[in-house]
């Protein structure tokens, strides 16, 4: 079984390396629904900004930070998959790329893998075919302190159901990115006020401004007032 797992990992690793540069070609957007076009409108006048991408998956395909990277931004990319992070180390050399879990505690946990590089890999077990893998776990507070990050502009969270624990692990008074995007397939606009993540963000001076595809956009209230013409939907 271990031999087959290694064989599968090697196959996915080299297969994805070949796909990196096909997905790197010039494009209007890398995000599945063009979310990064809207993100770039928000940060139109900011050069050399910084991002944190939790659940980064792929350096270009589906990435909400790839266009920013091409504008000379840099940041920290985090994913459960070692294969994903290996690809980031090849394609995003200016970034810090971490193969760890993010939650509301520091220690060790398990994640459940569908395949070596898969957007559905998660800290939450969803079926009996998944492989359980032990992994180091840290809060965003710990990650930011360890990497000497004092402030950053954009936080993206795509963690397949563990969004609340990620948000609980960051001090949004000390670290207050201008924009936070969170993927949530199930959250509907009329249910936002019931959602714990929504409540935390609203209580920390963010406002909900948009939903594109399955990505929810929360912008700092003060910034939203100053760039309202750029984010008009």
Please state the rounded mean pLDDT for residues 32-41: 95
N-term to C-term CA, the chain: 51
Q: Which of the four pLDDT bands, split at 50, 70 and 90, describes residue 117?
A: confident
- pLDDT on residue 16: 55
Q: Please give the pLDDT value at position 17.
A: 52
90 — pLDDT class (breaks 50, 70, 90):
very high
What pLDDT does 166 receive? 97
Q: How many residues can be counted in the chain?
A: 233
* Neighbouring-strand partners of residue 122: 112
The answer to whether residue 7 scores a pLDDT higher than 70 is: no
What is the pTM assigned to this prediction? 0.88
CATH of domain 2-99+140-226: 3.40.50.150
Q: Where are the beta strands (DSSP E) in the chain?
A: 50-54, 74-78, 96-98, 101-102, 107-113, 131-138, 154-157, 179-183, 206-212, 215-220
3-state helix, strand, coil in the chain (%, to 5): 35, 25, 45
Whole-number pLDDT of residue 89: 97
Region 206-210 average pLDDT? 93
Q: Which residues pair with 216 in a beta bridge?
A: 182, 211
Quote the CA–CA distance of 47 and 97 in Å, as a whole number.
Answer: 21
| pLDDT above 80 for 24 | no
Pairing, β 206-212 against β 215-220: antiparallel
- 122-144 residue pLDDT tens: 888 888 899 999 999 999 999 99
Taking residues 89-110, report their average pLDDT: 97
């Amino acid at each position: 079984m271990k031999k087959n797992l290694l064989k599968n990992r090697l196959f996915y690793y080299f297969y994805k390396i070949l796909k990196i540069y096909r997905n790197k070609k010039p494009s209007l957007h890398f995000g599945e629904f063009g979310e990064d076009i809207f993100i770039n409108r928000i940060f139109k006048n900011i050069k050399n900004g910084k991002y944190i991408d939790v659940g980064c998956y792929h350096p270009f395909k589906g990435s909400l930070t790839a266009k920013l990277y091409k504008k000379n931004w840099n940041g920290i990319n985090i994913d459960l998959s070692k294969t994903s992070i290996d690809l980031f180390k090849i394609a995003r050399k200016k970034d810090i790329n971490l193969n760890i879990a993010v939650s509301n505690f520091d220690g060790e946990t398990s994640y459940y893998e569908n395949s070596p590089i898969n957007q559905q890999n998660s800290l939450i077990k969803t079926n009996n075919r998944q492989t359980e893998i032990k992994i180091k776990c840290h809060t965003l507070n710990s990650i930011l302190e360890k990497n000497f990050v004092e402030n950053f502009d954009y936080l993206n969270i795509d963690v397949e159901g563990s969004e609340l624990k990620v948000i609980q692990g960051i001090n949004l008074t000390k670290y207050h990115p201008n924009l936070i995007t969170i993927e949530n397939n199930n959250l509907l606009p009329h249910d936002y006020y019931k959602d714990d993540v929504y409540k935390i963000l609203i209580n920390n001076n963010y406002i909900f401004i948009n939903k594109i595809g399955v990505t929810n956009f929360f912008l700092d209230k003060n910034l939203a007032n100053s760039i309202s013409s750029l984010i008009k939907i």
